[in-house]
Structure 1
Amino acid sequence: MKTDCKLDRLDLRILIELQRRGRMTNVELADAVGLSASPCLTRVKRLEEAGFIAGYGALIRIEKLGDFQVVFTRITLANHRREDFVRFIEAVRDVDEIMECHHATGGYDFLLKFVTRNVSHYQSLMEGLLERNIGIEQYFSCVVIHSPVMRHPNLLETLVAAG
């Protein structure tokens, strides 16, 4: 993957449009950003190869499928050597129910977001992580009751305008 790609205003407009409507055709995208189809496709391929576009997918509203439990978990590790962090991260990468893992500040080391069938399922996952001896000293669970504001990370236009 090439990472030496420099973005210009057209590249940013392409990323913004794809973030808004990832299913648009290349012709629609080209029209939206003011390019012809061939140069637009070339730019999209370059952005993909450079890693700016990580993939394409559908945003699924899992609450429509049934009741699920979202749990945020703050984790503190017993030791803070580089290898302790690496061991922990490698272990949680294998847990499908962990949607996000953030190395954070604020009195703990990691913030994880789980999506599970229920609280019992979450608890069994945590017990499994503790049994794996991956350095967890303590953890605190925040069970989500309701999520009145949820946004998809379509902030690129706002972030670029602020910079």
Structure 2
Amino acid sequence: MTRRRPDDGGQSSVELVAILPLAIVTVLGIAQVLAAGIGHELAAHAAENGAIALADGEDPRDAVREALPGWAKDRVQIKVDGREVRVSLKPLTVIPGAGEALATDASADAGPGPDAGAAMPAAVSTGPGPGLGAVTEPTVDQPAELGLPGPGPLEFAEPAPVIPPEWRER
């Protein structure tokens, strides 16, 4: 006599129905993280364009908007503070409400202004006397203060020859 195996033809269908929502949520989560990463890259690129425009004397807000794709132009906030351009961007969302949580900020500095070179002092000090973070003009007395040979130019030993002398005579 042969024993009959129970019919398990519907088990795989039940397993598929059970796992399908988890697979969909996982794919949507990955897509949302990728969209947030793209949003951050776009914000950084737009901030750089705005800083370049600011350095060139153009309107940084226009440059930021030109650097963004169409979908991002109504999701961006631009703030210009002195020589810094800050861009806030809400990425596209596949999960409702995730845009606020995944909003990204990027900033770029346009560098010193065009007249900054003339206004730079020769020495900058952070407090009374040279200290941590102070930049001063070098003086002749500094090598002696540091225990280095001085006050003249530093003397160096004769450099070792690259080619040994016995090889030079051949």
Q: Common fold, TM-score beyond 0.5?
A: no
**Bigger fraction of residues in strand:** 1
TM-score normalized by structure 2? 0.28
Structure scoring higher RCO (CA < 8 A, sep ≥ 6) equals 1
TM-score normalized by structure 1? 0.29
